[in-house]
Amino acid sequence: MTSTGHRLSAIAEAVGGRLLQGDGHTLVTHLAIDSRKAMPREGVLFIALQGERHDGHRYIPDLVDAGVRSFLIRSGAPTEGLEGCHVIAVPDTLDALQRLAAWHRGHIHAPVIGITGSNGKTIVKEWLAQLLQQEEHIARSPGSWNSQVGVPLSVWAMNARHTLGIFEAGISRPGEMEHLRPIIHPTIGLITNIGPAHAENFRDDREKALEKLKLFSDAQALVYCRDHGTVHKAIFGSGLDKDLILRDWSREEFAYVQVTREERGPTGCRITALHDHLEFTFELPFTDHASVENALHCVTLLLHLGRTPEHIAESMRTLAPVAMRLEMVEGAKGSLLINDAYSNDEASLRIALDHLMANGRDRRRVVVLSDIEQSGEPPEALYQRIAHAIAHAQVDRVLTVGPHLAAHAKLLHGNVRTYPDTEALLQGVDTEELAGAAVLVKGARRFALERAVERWQAQVHGTVLEVELEAVRHNLNHYRALLRPGTRVMPMVKAFGYGSGAVELARLFAYERVDMLGVAYADEGIALRQAGIAVPILVMNPEPVPFDLLHRFDLEAEVYDERSLLQAIAFHQQRADGPPVHLKIDTGMHRLGFLVDELPRLLELLKEAPFLRVGSIFSHLAASEDPAHDAFTREQIARFIQAADRIDAVLGYRPLRHIANSGGISRFPEAHFDMVRPGIGLHGVGVDAAETRLLRPAATLRTVIAQLKQIPAGESVSYGLHGRSTHDRRVAVLPVGYADGLFRTAGHGKGKAFVHDAPAPYVGTICMDMCMVDVTDISCSEGDPVVLFGGPHPVSDYAHDLDTIPYEALTAVGQRVKRVFVHGD
For 352, phi then psi, to 5°, come to -65, -40
Q: Is the pLDDT of residue 133 over 90?
A: no
CA 307, 311, 313, 318: dihedral to nearest 10 degrees?
Answer: -110
Is residue 786 very low, low, confident or very high in pLDDT (cuts 50, 70, 90)?
very high
Q: Is the pLDDT of residue 544 over 80?
A: no
Q: Is 710 left (phi over 0), alpha (psi -120 to 50) or beta?
A: beta
Q: Residue by residue, what is the 3-state secondary structure of 392-439?
A: HCCCCEEEEECHHHHHCHHHCCCEEEEECCHHHHHHHCCHHHHCCCEE
CB 35 within 8 A of CB 59: yes
The DSSP bridge partners found for residue 518 are 492, 538
- Identity at 448, one-letter amino acid code: A
What pLDDT is attached to residue 546?
79
Please tell me the predicted confidence (pLDDT) of residue 196. 73
- Measured over the CA atoms of residue 419, residue 422, residue 427 and residue 433, the dihedral's sign is positive
C-alpha 242/C-alpha 546 separation (Å) is 79
Residues 6+ apart with CB under 8 A from 669: 482
Q: Using CA atoms of 224, 229, 230, 236 in order, give the dihedral in degrees to the nearest 10.
A: 70
pLDDT tens-digit readout, 9-65: 999 999 999 999 999 999 999 999 988 777 777 899 999 998 877 789 989 998 999
**What is the identity of the amino acid at 212?**
K
pLDDT reported for residue 432 = 87
Segment 332-364, tens digit of pLDDT: 888 999 988 877 778 788 888 888 887 887 789
pLDDT tier, 194 (very low <50, low <70, confident <90, very high otherwise)? very high
Phi, psi of 62 (to 5 degrees): -65, -40
Is the torsion defined by CA of 367, 369, 372, 377 positive or negative? positive
Question: Are 285 and 316 a contacting pair, CB within 8 Å?
Answer: no
At 602 the pLDDT is 96
pLDDT at 341: 84
**Predicted confidence band at 764 (pLDDT cuts at 50, 70, 90)?**
very high
| CA 702 – CA 330 distance, rounded (Å) | 16
CA distance 593 to 603: 14
Element (H, E) at 440: strand 438-442
pLDDT reading at 90 higher than 80: yes
Residue spans of beta strands (DSSP E) within 295-414: 326-330, 336-340, 365-370, 397-401
CA angle 206, 207, 212 (to 5 degrees): 95
Task: Give the helix ranges, DSSP H, for 19-120.
Answer: 60-65, 93-105
CB 593 within 8 A of CB 619: yes
CA 417 to chain CA mean position, Å = 31
207: Cβ–Cβ under 8 A, 6 or more apart, which residues? 174
- What confidence tier does 323 reach under pLDDT thresholds 50, 70, 90? low
Backbone angles phi, psi at 820, to 5 degrees: -115, 125
pLDDT attached to residue 3 = 60
Contact yes or no for 585/643 (Cβ under 8 A): yes
User: What is the side-by-side order of every strand in the sheet holding 257-264?
Assistant: 138-140, 164-168, 112-116, 188-191, 221-225, 245-250, 257-264, 269-275, 278-284
Residue 798 pLDDT > 60, yes or no? yes
Residue 317's pLDDT is 87
pLDDT band with cut points at 50, 70 and 90 for residue 141:
confident
CA distance 555 to 536: 7
- Cα–Cα separations (whole angstroms), residue 348 to 143, 301, 342, 345, 442: 7, 24, 11, 6, 9
CB 344 within 8 Å of CB 367 = no
786 vs 765: CA distance, rounded Å? 18
Split at pLDDT 50, 70, 90, the class of 679 is very high
Rounded CA separation 388/390 (Å):
5
Q: Is 242 a catalytic residue?
A: no
Q: Which of 494, 560, 584, 762 is catalytic?
A: 494
- Torsion, Cα of 320, 324, 329, 332 (10° steps): 30
Report, as an integer, the average pLDDT of 447-473. Answer: 84
Percent of the chain with pLDDT over 70: 96
**What's the mean per-residue pLDDT of the chain?**
90
Other Cβ atoms closer than 10 A to 393: 21
What φ, ψ does residue 179 adopt, rounded to 5°?
A: -80, -30
Burial (CB count <10 Å: 0-12, 13-18, 19+), residue 239: exposed
> β-strands 752-755, 785-789: how paired?
antiparallel
Number of Cβ within 10 Å of residue 119's Cβ equals 16
Q: What is the DSSP letter of 578?
A: P
pLDDT of residue 2: 58
SS3 state of residue 125: helix
494 is catalytic: yes
Query: Nearest CA to 45 among 112, 108, 104, 105?
Result: 104
Percent with pLDDT over 90 in the chain: 65
* DSSP secondary structure string for all residues of 445-507: GGG-THHHHHHHBPP--S-EEEEEHHHHHHHHHHHHTTSPTT-EE--B-HHHHHTT-HHHHHH
Cut 0.85: pTM above it = no
To 5 degrees, how large is the angle CA 425–CA 426–CA 429?
A: 75
309-316 vs 121-132: helix axis angle to the nearest 10? Answer: 110
**Which amino acid is it at 766?**
I
How many Å separate Cα 328 from the centre of its chain?
Answer: 12
Give φ, ψ of 290 to 5 degrees: -65, -45
Region 541-558: what's the mean pLDDT? 82
Strand-pairing partners, residue 250, are: 258
Tell me the per-residue pLDDT of 624-643, one tens digit each, with 9 for 90 and over.
Answer: 999 999 999 999 999 999 99
Angle at which helix 599-608 crosses helix 630-651, to 10 degrees, equals 30
pLDDT digits (tens, 9 = 90+) for 196-217: 767 778 999 999 999 999 999 9
pLDDT at 461: 60
Beta bridge mates, 708? 732
Give the pLDDT band (50/70/90) at residue 320: confident
Per-residue pLDDT, averaged over 258-262, amounts to: 96
Instruction: Determine which of 392-406, 533-547, 677-691, 698-712 has the lowest per-residue pLDDT on average.
Output: 533-547
Counting DSSP H helices and E strands in the chain, the numbers are 28, 38
Burial tier of 730 (Cβ tally within 10 Å: 0-12, 13-18, 19+): middle
Strand 27-32 and strand 44-47: the pairing is parallel
Q: Are 600 and 643 in contact (CB under 8 A)?
A: no
Q: pLDDT tier at 496 (50, 70, 90 boundaries)?
A: low
Higher per-residue pLDDT: 198 or 95: 95
For 98-127, the pLDDT digits (tens) are 999 999 999 999 999 999 998 889 899 999
DSSP secondary structure letters along 233-260: HHHHHHTHHHHSEEEEEESSS--SEEEE
In this prediction, residue 533 has a pLDDT band, given cuts at 50, 70 and 90, of confident
Does the CA dihedral 393-398-402-408 come out positive or negative?
positive
As beta bridge partners, residue 752 has 761
| CB neighbourhood size of 415 (10 A) | 12
Could you report how far apart the first and last alpha carbons of the chain are, in Å? 15
Q: Is 44 helix (H, G, I), strand (E, B) or coil?
A: strand
Measured CA to CA, the distance from residue 504 to residue 339 in angstroms comes to: 15
pLDDT of residue 500: 62
